[in-house]
Structure 1
Amino acid sequence: MSPAQERAWSELSPRYLIEVPRAVASTSVAHGSELDPAEVWGRTAPLIVEIGSGQGHAIVHAAAARPEADFLAVEVFKAGLARTMKDADAAGVGNLRLVEANAPEVLTHLVPAASVDELWVFFPDPWHKKRHTKRRLVTAEFAALAARALKAGGMLRLATDWEDYALQMAEVMDAADGFARAFEGEWAPRFDGRVMTAFERKGRAAGREIRDLAYTRI
């Protein structure tokens, strides 16, 4: 991390970071580590979770715009979390918490079942080389974990700038138990709650179309 990120981590992690018991890996989550949202945020409010929050541009903006909701950023890269905390502090955001952990383990062990109102996966690593596509996040296994975490009527929002990944996402989620499309046509309208980030700009600059998907937990 840069010196500024090191300072942010040292000074701000007690305020923003949720410490979780580990299993084996440094970003794992031990079984039995379920958090209590009312205790973490000090209130009962809609809970929005972003998987792969990166440097936090989308979730910090959203948390500042929606103070009535609680936000959880899930990321494995410490530098990105440090930047998120730094920007959240500068924006005076108090309804955001962060966790340094693998997304599947967060959805399995950390968030309570049927506790999440919205789950966001924006511009996940496309692993665009054919031999690497098996590493992609959005699979049938992920859909099952998302179904566990979301409340009835909750929303899963997805976005990518890689066409073949968008097609894979649609195929997976259309076949997933407990979900129904929340849009008509081939793709969902751009989610207006998502601020334009560097990932989206980069994709557009490269001539790639941004594709959104949205599914309701039924």
Structure 2
Amino acid sequence: MFAPGAGPSPDPAGSREEHRIRSFHARRGRITPAQRSAIERLWPRWGVELDGSPLDLAELFDGPLPVVLEIGFGMGEATARMAAADPGTGILAVDVHTPGQGNLLSLADREGLTNVRVANGDAVVLLRDMLAPCSLAGLRVFFPDPWPKARHHKRRLIQPEFVDLVTPLLRPGATVHCATDWEPYAEQMLEVLSAAPGLVNACAGYAPRPAFRPMTKFERQGLAKGHVVRDLLFTRV
């Protein structure tokens, strides 16, 4: 699809992806000329392959910024807005949707955002193999796939084994912020995060929608269907 080194790899981790948790199902999708151009121009500078190699976040962001990990950013509009509102925080945004990767790179370039890096591949490989303890200032998971059928619940991202991977990578005071418009998944998130050692709920139950979280396309779609959006904010102690 792209020349070597000019775009995201279809399989950055190879055999390292052989694990029970899986944070994604690859979606290449149809890419526009503008998205393709952004990837070809910017991937060598702002793209990250989740291949299992240790990742130095200070080197990646050209300085010791606090770094928030965002897993699943769609087309990147909300990510770009949050990066623009908080230029002193690095955002490491992970997804496997090529059009979304290209769109976020294009938005970052157009808005002059230097605090966004776009990672391609399985976030579990990143968490398990690539990051140092206490290296993250936060985690964001907004509107992940709810996998509504009971036989697919094991594919949901927010599960105890996933949280066990994340928690040691969070520095004290780091925030875990999840949002979903699928009520049964919100209940599972609340149960899993409440039971996680090292995390405490910043609110009593669900959190009021924070003003700093931009409304996403998925949120608008959910609200149009009459869904209730739930935010969850937990702090690493």
TM-score by length of 2: 0.84
Give, in angstroms, the shift of residue 110 of structure 1: 2.1
Give the aligned partner of residue 2 of structure 1: 32
Question: C-alpha offsets along residues 44-102 of structure 1, whole Å, 9 cap, x if unaligned?
Answer: 12111101112111211111111111111011222211111011111111111111011
Confirm whether residue 56 of structure 1 aligns to residue 86 of structure 2: no
Runs of 4+ in 1 over 2 A off after TM superposition: none
Q: What amino acid is aligned across from residue 203 of structure 1 in structure 2?
A: G
Aligned pair partner of 1:183 in 194, 199, 203? 203
Q: What amino acid is aligned across from residue 218 of structure 2 in structure 1?
A: F
Which residues in structure 2 correspond to 1:56-205 (within 5 Å)? 56-184=76-204, 186-205=205-224
Give, in angstroms, the shift of residue 189 of structure 1: 1.2
Confirm whether residue 211 of structure 1 aligns to residue 230 of structure 2: yes
Distance 2:174 2:203 in 1: 14
Which residues in structure 2 correspond to 1:31-50 (within 5 Å)? 33-50=53-70
Q: Is the 8 A contact 2:84 2:113 kept in 1?
A: yes
Distance 2:49 2:221 in 1: 33
Give the aligned partner of residue 12 of structure 1: 42
CA spacing shift, 1:19–1:130, aligned 2, 3 Å: closer
Task: Indicate the SS of the match to 2:48.
Answer: coil
Distance 2:105 2:66 in 1: 21
Indicate the RMSD between aligned Cα atoms, in angstroms: 1.2
Distance 1:79 1:111 in 2: 26
Task: Indicate the SS of the match to 1:39.
Answer: helix
Q: What amino acid is aligned across from residue 63 of structure 2 in structure 1?
A: R
Q: What amino acid is aligned across from residue 158 of structure 1 in structure 2?
A: C
Give, in angstroms, the shift of residue 181 of structure 1: 0.6
Give, in angstroms, the shift of residue 103 of structure 1: 1.4
Q: Which moved more, 1:132-141 or 1:50-59?
A: 50-59
Residue identity over aligned pairs, in percent, reads 43
Distance 2:128 2:77 in 1: 25
Runs of 5+ consecutive residues of structure 1 not aligned to the other structure: 21-28
Q: Is the 8 A contact 2:49 2:121 kept in 1?
A: no
TM-score by length of 1: 0.91
Residues matched between the structures, number: 207
Distance 1:78 1:96 in 2: 16
Distance 2:152 2:206 in 1: 25
Distance 1:105 1:52 in 2: 14
Give, in angstroms, the shift of residue 195 of structure 1: 0.7
Distance 1:120 1:149 in 2: 13
